[in-house]
Amino acid sequence: TMGNWLVNHWFSAAVLAAWLGINIFLFTYYFLFFDQDERYFYTRAILGSALAWARASAKCLNFNSMLILLPVCRNLLSFLRGTCSCCRRTLRKQLDHNLTFHKLVAYALALLTAVHTIAHLFNLERYNQSQQATDGSLHAVLSKMHLQGSDKWLNPIHSNQTTVEYVAFTTIPGLTGVIITLALILMVTSSTEFIRRNYFELFWYTHHLFLVYFAGLVIHGIAGLVRGQTEQSMAEVPPHHCAEYLPQRDQNCTHDCCKDPEFGSIPAESWKWVLAPIILYVFERILRVWRAQQKVVVTKVVMHPARVLELQMQKKGFCMEVGQYIFVNCPAISPLEWHPFTLTSAPEEDFFSIHIRAAGDWTERLIDTFQLETPRIEVDGPFGTASEDVFQYEVAMLVGAGIGVTPFASILKSIWYKFQQADQTLKTKKIYFYWLCRDTGAFAWFNDLLASLEQKMAESGKADFLTYRLFLTGWNTSIVNNVALHFDTATDTVTGLRHKTIFGRPMWNMEFAAVAAAHPRSVVGVFLCGPEALAKSLQKSCHQHSSLDPRKVKFYFNKENF
């Protein structure tokens, strides 16, 4: 429900409201300023309201360009997490929405760029019309001001042959505007989920066009093509009083408004907005380079079926929590590319590990390289907020879908270690684990992990601590025939585990009803790492199966953003 969302995400809601509020304020304030201020009386005589649309969107573009880098300063976010470690976890967790905010700001930039560009196309058309006008009207007279002296102009177009293309490719604002817009279009289109998942290199390299974007942004307003009347000129020839005399003035003029109005450019100010975040980002990159130089020792390399590579590593001073991720670089393959991987080891282990499946050029080449030799690896991280909420519930329902199963490797191992060591911070007495995947091939390593946990629990007489159910959502007839043949065996034919694989999707109502019946007085934490559609269905089930009686079963939903 909306109420629950606001309770859990009040910080995100406050940030969103503040961001929207500042954008609306900036747009409205500067729209009214350029639409009504005396300084731009003559500029408006040529351009009309398109001036206000262009300038108001420019202010909002500056504001959002200032924000766009902050959510991707990973070390800054880690520092903020550290400084607010005494804050509530919900507050720290909101920092993990950094990429959502980054995308939101990017979409705002795209929308504002469209508004700014369209407004300037109207402006160019009006500048052109005024330059070509010969009817002696105010806008026609203002467009001929450049004939009075080189610095007297108000209309930047001084020739009847000027085209939009000419202005776009020969003036500083035109050319930088085209370059900035192209860079933005390429960055936005190459960062779709599909491209990030399948062609990460394309996304990675295209995103570095942000350097071109910021360089263009800083230079964009330098030429000062849009002008307004100077303060001194306004005092001498106030526009609201003198404008009517300007078109019909003659050589023998004697009244107060005889003097020509004088104009000055609006100073470029984008650099003032973006300087601080650019400096912060430069420090961020320097820190990443320094951290990357610290030696990483690969202690074990395991090649799992279906081309999944497990790397176990050690690095001095490395300290992880469950549910965190690291960035990995292999200079032998590409000195510039850093790829994110969820940690699959538990904090209790004396190494940290990741599982890399072949998904794209870089991962393919990394797996091939490791089959021949052990290349040098650089690691940056760990990042992200620890998923420690799992340990706070007596009963936990963990749902991993597809690749979303990865973080649960760390969580399940850590829970087992805490359980073994009788850790006082662990309140968990029972875990239900649901694994949904199309085919188990790419996750055979996870099977092995479950099998070893199953064995350890059986050996220590705690076999009922973990109940797991595997749902195969994609299968073919040969698998089904094989299952039918070996139906009465002790272990599963697909996974080799004691718990049988179920074909199809879970009936969540039945699963929740069974957990509620088994734990009538418990608080159950439901954790998902998977798609949004599944999140909605689990949230609905949590709501339906929670008892109104405070002494009876309650389900609390937590979606992890890995």
Asked if residue 292 lies in contact with residue 378, where contact means CB atoms within 8 angstroms, the answer is: yes
Q: What is the rounded average pLDDT of the residues 296-322?
A: 92
Quick one: pLDDT band at residue 8, thresholds 50, 70, 90? low
Between the alpha carbon of residue 304 and those of residues 137, 276, 322, 357, the distances in Å are 80, 46, 22, 9
- Average pLDDT of 442-461? 81
Closest CA to 105 of 56, 69, 53: 69
470-482 mean pLDDT: 63
What local confidence, expressed as pLDDT, does residue 501 receive? 74
**Do 202 and 250 form a contact (C-beta atoms < 8 A)?**
no
CA distance 518 to 431: 12
pLDDT at 519 over 70: yes
Radius of gyration of the chain (CA): 32
Q: What is the pTM of this model?
A: 0.81
Residue 208: which pLDDT band, with cuts at 50, 70 and 90?
very high
The pLDDT of residue 481 is above 50:
no
Residue 450 has pLDDT above 90, yes or no: no
Q: Identify the top-confidence range among 18-22, 94-98, 142-146.
A: 18-22
User: What is the DSSP secondary-structure string of 288-316?
Assistant: HHHHHTS-EEEEEEEEETTTEEEEEEEET
Confirm if 212 and 263 have CB atoms less than 8 A apart: no
Highest average pLDDT, of 89-93, 101-105, 385-389, 552-556, comes from 101-105
What end-to-end distance do the CA atoms of the chain give, in Å? Answer: 23
Residue with the bigger pLDDT between 507 and 426: it is: 507
Amino acid at 158: H
353 pLDDT band, cuts 50/70/90, is very high
* pLDDT above 60 for 7: no
Residue 5: the pLDDT is 58
3-state secondary structure of 146: helix
Would you say the C-alpha torsion 445, 449, 455, 459 has a positive or negative sign? positive
Residue 29: its pLDDT value, please? 98
Q: Report pLDDT digits (tens) over 386-435.
A: 777 788 888 999 998 877 788 888 988 998 888 788 777 778 889 999 98
Angle at 506 between CA 505 and CA 508, to 5 degrees: 140
Domains, the chain, in order of start with CATH, read 2-171+223-247+258-288 (no CATH), 296-384 (2.40.30.10), 387-446+453-559 (3.40.50.80)
Q: Which residues contact 290 (CB under 8 A, 6 or more apart)?
A: none
Average pLDDT for the chain? 86
Residues in Cβ contact with 517 at an 8 Å cutoff, skipping those fewer than 6 apart: none
Q: Is the pLDDT of residue 491 over 50?
A: no
Say what the alpha-carbon torsion angle 51, 56, 60, 63 is, to the nearest 10 degrees. Answer: 100
20 confidence band (pLDDT: 50, 70, 90): very high
Statement: residue 61 has pLDDT above 80? yes
β 263-265/227-229 pair status = antiparallel
Please give the pLDDT value at position 489: 44
Q: What pLDDT, on a 0 to 100 scale, did the predictor assign at position 485?
A: 42
Residue with the bigger pLDDT between 65 and 11: it is 65
Q: Using alpha carbons only, give the angle 167, 173, 176 rounded to the nearest 5 degrees.
A: 105
d(CA 147, CA 124): 20
In this structure, what token pair is assigned to residue 105?
């700001």
List own/partner pairs for 101-107 with CB under 8 A and 24 or more apart: 101/15, 101/19, 101/71, 102/68, 102/71, 102/72, 103/191, 104/16, 104/19, 105/19, 105/64, 105/67, 105/68, 105/71, 106/68, 106/187, 106/188, 106/191, 107/188
Please give the residue that has the higher pLDDT: either 562 or 81: 81
Q: What is the pLDDT of residue 88?
A: 61
Which of 467, 470, 473 shows the shortest CA–CA distance to 492?
A: 470
Mean pLDDT across 515-531: 90
pLDDT digits (tens, 9 = 90+) for 241-259: 888 888 877 667 777 888 8
In sequence order, the β-bridge partners of residue 466 are 431
pLDDT confidence of residue 200: 83
196 neighbors 403 (Cβ within 8 angstroms): no
pLDDT 10s digits, 38-58: 999 999 999 999 999 999 999
